[in-house]
Amino acid sequence: MTLPREEVCAGFVDELGRFEALLRTIDESDWRKPSRCDGWSAADIAGHVTGQLSDIVNGRFDGLGTPEVTQRQVDERRDKSPEQMADELVEATKIGADILSTFDDAAWAGPTPGGIPGTLGEGVEGLWFDAWLHADDIRDAIGRPTEPGPGVRASVSHLSDLLTQKEWGPATIAVSGLEEFAVSGGGGQRVEGDAITFVLVASGRAPSTALDLDPSVNVYG
């Protein structure tokens, strides 16, 4: 169950704007620093986020999300500077915002283009989660603190859906500062604590022991 369509569409576009602004603050000495994403630098992460959006707004859905396509997105942008990457992201965001404005509730509840699993709404919320989390990956790589924001709520919502798809739980995600999110129907174990810590744990970026959970909570594990 995604957040409301208007909230997700506006929030995703705003998140991309913050991602662009982050890129414009990075100098070349930080651009190539290794990240917690295995084998990727800060530049590689930016290349994936930018390339993924470019593929989507240009209708290139074949293989989207596979390791091969993800690596191609990175490789195609390996020589770009932070400013060049930010400029490409701006152009793709403009097209994406125009596309998002055409969606009504029926389209939102319908299938994602290209045969990607889930509804269109789940797909867009997943992109918002991806943008917020990868911005945090970049900040971590270059020694900057996490920046909370609306993307945290979108991330908790999306991870709750992914955990349901994984048949984890039943559980109730009751992290601080947010409403409760049901996993596999809700009830069961109550997952409490810091919301950002939950996002990092459920995405495999922090140990599950940080929230006294089993490693199976990692949606990518």
Contact 50, 85 (CB under 8 A): yes
- Measured CA to CA, the distance from residue 36 to residue 143 in angstroms comes to 12
Confidence of residue 210 (pLDDT cuts 50, 70, 90): very high
CATH H-level, domain 5-141: superfamily: dinb family like domain (1.20.120.450)
- Does the pLDDT value for residue 1 go beyond 80? no
Alpha helices in the chain (DSSP H): 5-23, 28-31, 42-57, 67-75, 82-100, 105-109, 120-141, 150-165, 195-202
Phi, psi of 61 (to 5 degrees): -100, -15
Domain-by-domain residue ranges, the chain?
5-141, 150-217
For 197, the token pair is: 């810590």
Distance from chain centroid for Cα 179? 20
- Does the pLDDT value for residue 113 go beyond 90? no
Which of 163, 144, 155, 135 shows the shortest CA–CA distance to 50? 135
- Does the pLDDT value for residue 162 go beyond 90? yes
Q: Do 5-141 and 150-217 fold alike per CATH?
A: no
Q: What is the mean pLDDT of the chain?
A: 96
Q: What is the pLDDT of residue 96?
A: 97
- Does the pLDDT value for residue 159 go beyond 90? yes
Confidence of residue 28 (pLDDT cuts 50, 70, 90): very high
For 174, the token pair is: 């009751």
Q: What is the pTM of this model?
A: 0.96
What's the whole-number mean pLDDT along residues 109-129? 91
- Measured CA to CA, the distance from residue 219 to residue 211 in angstroms comes to 15
Predicted confidence (pLDDT) per residue in 191-205, tens digit: 999 999 999 999 999
Confidence of residue 114 (pLDDT cuts 50, 70, 90): confident
What's the whole-number mean pLDDT along residues 140-148? 97
Question: Could you name the CATH architecture of 150-217?
Answer: 2-Layer Sandwich (3.30)
Contacts of 159 (CB under 8 A, 6+ apart): 129, 173, 198, 199, 202, 203, 219
Q: What is the pLDDT of residue 195?
A: 98
- Measured CA to CA, the distance from residue 146 to residue 133 in angstroms comes to 10
- Does the pLDDT value for residue 3 go beyond 80? yes
